[in-house]
Structure 1
Amino acid sequence: MSGFEKAKASRSRTLKNVLGGVAVIGVSVLFLSACSPTASTGSSETAAPPTDDLTLKIGTALPQTGNLAYLGPPEEAGVQYAISEINAATADTGLTVDLTLGDSGDTDNKAYETEIPRLLGDGVSAIIGAASSGTSLKFIDDVVGAGVIQFSPANTSDAFTTYDDKGLYFRTAPSDVLQGEVLGNLIAEDGNQTLGLIVLNDSYGTGLAKYVTDSFEAAGGEVVAAPTYNTGDTSFDSQIQEVLAADPDAIALITFEEVKTILPGLLASFPSDKLYFVDGNLKNFGDELPAGSLTGAKGTLPGLSIDSLTDFTGALDDFASSEGLPALKDYSYAAESYDATVLLALGALAAGSTDGTDIAGKLQEVSGGSGDGEKCTTYADCAAIIVGGGTADYDGISGPISFDDVGDPQDASIGIYVYGEDNNYTAYEG
């Protein structure tokens, strides 16, 4: 199938099942036992429309600084665009969203240590962020302990599936169990028999590396080197030397923005078409590198193919321009950020409340993960269903979502991309 291949998740599926622009995976197959006694189960009961106007306060803890700062602009733009549409419908719904922007930083600069208390002090009902799993794990206890929802558009660590989050943690990105399986199979299907990894030493990096390794080895390959580094490191000579000394057929870079420092030393001795990127570093490098530096390199990114989201990204560009926001160079997790915001607003409408616990109790329902709601694809349409006394089932820009009992999406797409001569990526048509 040109452009993308649809496949149900299965430990025994063949390599060809994951090739193409997007691998679409039913997550619930992998997580039949992933049910936590502390998770919210949602409700199939329909709340009465609110009798009073609701003001929902949302904060963001997204990376304005740190090793994922390139993800901040598309994620913040996605949140703000969603809020503009939510507030445009206030006259019909009675719900208004107030936004407070904040910086998550990373585990090195620790911006979250001051930003999270500031957001909580502002009385937010939910915090959208962080992008980094490792950073989210640094403040999740503070957020959920305050009865506030933490909703990440980009956390992929499997640690959150069983985390004791009081039923207040949700994400629109799938676990790295899935991305690791897709990437490992892709590398093997490309004919590589040995693999080297350079890995960020945190819950995201080591977790994703494990699942890539498991998948690649299950396909008959061998991981011959996997040196790690820590957030804040600035020199990667030893990791580069170790992985090159193992003479692998391919190298997967499981990093964040440190990849910009790693690539020059690596590309001097290793072919670009044998490099593989992940969501933490898949970006449009453009003229940051000499022309043709990354030609043929591939990578994976959770979410529907960017090529299939041109209507959304075009509208997002127009919105950013009209609001004086920075022009977007990447769109990673913009759709997931938009959907997270819409779901929070729909959860508040369905609950008739802006209390974090009340909203959390409705998020599974409005996502279609429980109950028997009416399908809808925009905030306005879903809100009309709820205000009319019905149950809404939101299918978002990033996909159908459908939260399970622990706040993980039950359906997910993993995009596969390839770099061209301009050092930018497009959907892989293999």
Structure 2
Amino acid sequence: MRNTCSVLYVFILVCILVSSGCRSNDCADASFCIGALIPERIFDGSYDTRRQAVVSAVEDINAAGGDIELVFGRDTDRSFDSDALRSVLNSGVDGIIGPTTSADSVDIVDDLAGAKMVAISPSASSVEISTFADDGYFFRVIPSDAFQAPILAKLIKQAGGKRAAILFRDDSYGRNLKDGLVESLKQAGVSSLEPIEYGEGLEAAVNAVVSAVNAEDNPVDSVVLALFREGGANLMASMLKREELNGKVKYYGADSLSIKSFAEIVVALDPEALSLEDMEGFVTTIAGPDPCRLEERKEIFDEAGRYARQIYDAVALMKLASIKSASSDPAVYVREMIGISRDGIKCRTYAECAGFLTDGDSTNDDIDYYGFSGEIDFDANGDVTKGFYYVHTYDDMGERPNPVLVDLEGNPAGECKVDNR
């Protein structure tokens, strides 16, 4: 008997010390526990503000009675793999916010589906995600790049572009955005150079652009970067320093480069050769809020950085689905995720929506959560079907004044004219 107890004691101790294979007590005291697959740092070593965004969302929803616990996953070089996911799952989470990148989403989707775990990404935009064999457990609250590519092509056409060069990252995000850009440019009447993979090397990529821009026949006049910040910043710095490109090309960046400090990041790579003026005219696109909700909690969301509204909505949707289903089991509440996002009684905050679900009046149970990022309206693939994009243009001070909000067809969104209740 004593030996049996000793073996049991050792097993329990191992479970406590080792994350794999045993469920920890990280979520033991919460009625609903969320795991966040959001990296601690971005490429330059600074804190990833999306972590603060999810903390703020949980705090705000808890203040309205949410009772949510939050657990952060540990990333490796800003990425999450199956081991990182397993560690979070072993914490006893009921849902996951993230991953934040398309590449990480592709890598772990099979594990998510196998674990029957609901995950909502606030920022993974690859079109590949729409075709995931995820058994309905993966959602995202950002439009697919199937919308972003045509918007970028439309901007190039409107600026008078006739031929574009696309530099892309060789992963799910870069490859699929590149393919979408090639087709969208063609539809817009803009020809494109054979896309250039950044993995071939910085010098080779820049030299290819220089040759294409200075070609005698059909020269390139527009360059689009489908890259992450580190690669995008290095390429921009190198291209801006090439005299053969000065005044001959207009630069565009997709959402991964649409950050307030991007001009400063580029200039900091070689401050003796570059200035903020060199970034003037650089155009980026990124998912933006519904104009009807643009000013609500604007200071809070702006301080929390990119995708703060989407992160808030992801947290709210999970918790509301669990209330609607009366269960924190993702295999149960997942069946309510699509329904609470569309075709019901519109409610604009977690508190309002939760109030409808718990007021004892069954006629109010059919809610339609209208998020701070806008209307969600999940389709069968877990994709949002409504949304907007910001178009940012940098000035000679490295700032992005007067952003333009456009709809999913690239048309100016205008002001909110309908209450939508």
Whether the TM-score (by the shorter chain) exceeds 0.5 is yes
Query: In the alignment, does 2:353 pair up with 1:382?
Result: yes
* Counterpart code for 1:274: K
SS of 1:251's partner is: strand
* Counterpart code for 1:405: A
> What residue number does 2:190 align with?
221
Residue from 271, 277, 295 that aligns with 1:292: 277
The alpha-carbon distance between structure 1 residues 130 and 271, as it changes in their structure 2 partners (threshold 3 A), is: farther
CA contact (8 A) 2:290 2:373 kept: no
The alpha-carbon distance between structure 1 residues 271 and 77, as it changes in their structure 2 partners (threshold 3 A), is: farther
Residue from 169, 174, 182 that aligns with 1:205: 174
* Counterpart code for 2:203: D
Q: Distance in 2 between matches of 1:156 and 1:69?
A: 24
Q: Distance in 2 between matches of 1:339 and 1:147?
A: 21
> What residue number does 1:401 align with?
376
The alpha-carbon distance between structure 1 residues 410 and 123, as it changes in their structure 2 partners (threshold 3 A), is: same
> What residue number does 1:278 align with?
254
SS of 2:151's partner is: helix
Scaled by the length of structure 2, what TM-score is found?
A: 0.78
> What residue number does 1:129 align with?
98
SS of 1:393's partner is: strand
The alpha-carbon distance between structure 1 residues 238 and 305, as it changes in their structure 2 partners (threshold 3 A), is: farther
Residue from 222, 233, 238 that aligns with 1:265: 238
Q: Distance in 1 between matches of 2:370 and 2:290?
A: 16
Q: Distance in 1 between matches of 2:246 and 2:39?
A: 31
**CA offsets per residue over residues 48-71 of structure 1, 9 Å max, x none?**
xxxxx971110011132465987x
SS of 1:366's partner is: helix
Q: CA deviation at 1:266?
A: 0.7
CA contact (8 A) 1:60 1:129 kept: yes
Q: CA deviation at 1:383?
A: 0.3
Q: Distance in 2 between matches of 1:216 and 1:381?
A: 43
- 5 Å-filtered alignment, 1:21-420, equals 55-65=31-41, 67=43, 73-90=48-65, 95-105=66-76, 110-230=79-199, 235-247=201-213, 248-257=220-229, 258-269=231-242, 270-271=245-246, 274-285=250-261, 286-288=263-265, 289=267, 290-304=275-289, 309-316=294-301, 331-368=305-342, 372-388=343-359, 389=362, 390-420=365-395
- Greater CA deviation, 133-142 or 109-118? 109-118
CA contact (8 A) 2:165 2:192 kept: yes
Q: Distance in 1 between matches of 2:300 and 2:80?
A: 31
Q: Distance in 2 between matches of 1:111 and 1:220?
A: 39
The alpha-carbon distance between structure 1 residues 308 and 294, as it changes in their structure 2 partners (threshold 3 A), is: farther
More helix, by proportion: 2
The alpha-carbon distance between structure 1 residues 305 and 166, as it changes in their structure 2 partners (threshold 3 A), is: closer
Q: Distance in 2 between matches of 1:410 and 1:281?
A: 23
CA contact (8 A) 1:68 1:131 kept: no
CA contact (8 A) 2:130 2:381 kept: yes
Identity value in percent: 27
Q: CA deviation at 1:379?
A: 0.5
* Counterpart code for 1:377: R
**CA offsets per residue over residues 41-93 of structure 1, 9 Å max, x none?**
xxxxxxxxxxxx971110011132465987x7332222222211221122xxx
Higher relative contact order (CA 8 A, sep 6+): 1
The alpha-carbon distance between structure 1 residues 393 and 271, as it changes in their structure 2 partners (threshold 3 A), is: farther
SS of 1:354's partner is: coil
Q: Distance in 2 between matches of 1:68 and 1:61?
A: 19
- Greater CA deviation, 255-264 or 61-70? 61-70
Q: Distance in 2 between matches of 1:294 and 1:346?
A: 43
* Counterpart code for 1:60: A
Scaled by the length of structure 1, what TM-score is found?
A: 0.77
> What residue number does 2:9 align with?
none
* Counterpart code for 2:221: D
* Counterpart code for 2:312: Y
The alpha-carbon distance between structure 1 residues 69 and 195, as it changes in their structure 2 partners (threshold 3 A), is: farther
Higher Cα Rg, which structure: 2
CA contact (8 A) 1:383 1:392 kept: no
Q: Distance in 2 between matches of 1:306 and 1:118?
A: 39
CA contact (8 A) 1:128 1:153 kept: yes
- Greater CA deviation, 235-244 or 120-129? 235-244
SS of 1:395's partner is: strand
The alpha-carbon distance between structure 1 residues 198 and 306, as it changes in their structure 2 partners (threshold 3 A), is: farther
Q: CA deviation at 1:225?
A: 3.8
Q: CA deviation at 1:142?
A: 1.2
The alpha-carbon distance between structure 1 residues 291 and 207, as it changes in their structure 2 partners (threshold 3 A), is: same
Q: CA deviation at 1:339?
A: 0.6
CA contact (8 A) 2:341 2:377 kept: yes
Q: CA deviation at 1:271?
A: 4.4
* Counterpart code for 1:262: L
* Counterpart code for 2:118: I
Aligned length: 354
**CA offsets per residue over residues 73-116 of structure 1, 9 Å max, x none?**
332222222211221122xxxx411000124456xx65434421
